[in-house]
Amino acid sequence: MKVLFEERGDSVIFRVYDFDSKYEKILKMCYYEFDANSYIKKFPKNTKNLKKIQTHYSNNFKEMFDQLGYFRPIPWQKALLQFIEKVQEKQINWWLTGSCAACIRGITLNPHDIDIMVDSEDINKINEVFKDYIIEPIIDTNGWLTKEFGVIFLHARIDIASDPQTCLDDPEPVDCGPYARANLEEILWNGHLIKVPPVNLQLNVNKRRGRLDRVKLIQEFIKKQ
């Protein structure tokens, strides 16, 4: 697996090529576009710290995709602790969603990454704090499901998203939408209070995605409460 960086107009292209077929599903899952026997993702050429990001990508992209495919262990606990340590005392408002939010409650869902939600007004702080660890630039999505989206790689992949859109909660609230943001709970994990969505919202999203094994585990957890 190799990567090539190309400039095209106002964009820079991250091109992944010469990969084993087992990675194709993973690249599609990460919204890479197929292009001439490779997969690409485009970012603005004027992205701050772009060369640093490209270097971090070159050094870690295969490890990232291996973890996403469960081809290598995912040290999400170590990554989450490192994230917490770096944002402490930085006045960054953040919360945890996705499978890791269930895991810190004691529901074992085997996450392949960490999903962090932040306020758009804190994106500049995130870019500064994690300037050595950004692997995909945190950029405006132009009306996607969140205002901004990008990726940090710090032992494991950490997705950063801001300001969830109302469409996420249609037809019912999920664990990463505006309703979750307005109804966060706090869970004590490894000495840190972490804001997470209500567990029933995680049940909703896994039902929506047809993840029946996760649905069963979450339902069993809820019954014990």
Mean pLDDT of 165-177: 94
- Whether 16 is covered by a domain: the verdict is no
Reported as a single tens digit per residue, the pLDDT across 6-50 is: 999 999 999 999 999 999 999 999 999 999 999 999 999 999 999
What's the pLDDT at 167?
A: 94
pLDDT tier, 106 (very low <50, low <70, confident <90, very high otherwise): very high
The whole-number pLDDT of residue 2 equals 98
pLDDT at position 154, please?
Answer: 98
Q: Do 145 and 165 form a contact (C-beta atoms < 8 A)?
A: yes
Does residue 170 have a pLDDT over 90?
A: yes
Residue 201 has a pLDDT of 97
pLDDT at 137: 98
Domain of 88, CATH number, reads 3.30.460.40
Q: What are the b/e assignments for 140-171, b being 16+ CB within 10 Å?
A: ebeeeebbbbbbbbbbbbbbbbbbbeeebbee
Residue 67 clears pLDDT 90, i.e. is over it: yes
Spell out the SS3 assignment of the chain: CEEEEEEECCEEEEEEECCCHHHHHHHHHCCCEECCCEEEEEEECCCCCHHHHHHHHHHHHHHHHHHHCCCCCCCHHHHHHHHHHHHCCCCCCEEEEHHHHHHCCCCCCCCCCEEEEECHHHHHHHHHHCCCCEEEEEEECCCCCECEEEEEEECEEEEEEECECHHHHCCCCCCCCHHHHHCCEEEEECCEEEEECCHHHHHHHHHHCCCHHHHHHHHHHHHHC
Angle 97-121-177 from CA coordinates, rounded to 5°: 30
Residues 6+ apart with CB under 8 A from 82: 154, 155
Does residue 37 lie within any of the structural domains?
Answer: no
Residue 143 has pLDDT above 90, yes or no: no
Question: Would residue 207 count as lying in a domain?
Answer: yes
Task: Tell me, yes or no, whether 113 lies in a domain.
Answer: yes
Residue 128 confidence (pLDDT) above 90? yes
**Within a domain: residue 150?**
yes
pLDDT of 225 strictly over 90 = no
Task: Indicate whether 29 belongs to any domain.
Answer: no
Domain presence at residue 105: yes
Mean pLDDT of the chain: 97
Average pLDDT, stretch 113-139? 97
How does pLDDT run across 72-94, given as a tens digit for each residue? 999 999 999 999 999 999 999 99
Per-residue pLDDT band at 96 (split at 50, 70, 90):
very high
Q: Does the residue 46 lie in any domain?
A: no
Residues whose CB falls within 8 Å of the CB of residue 163, separated by 6 or more in sequence, listed in order? 119, 120, 146, 147, 148
Number of folded domains in the chain?
A: 1
User: Structural domain of residue 117, as residue ranges?
Assistant: 75-224
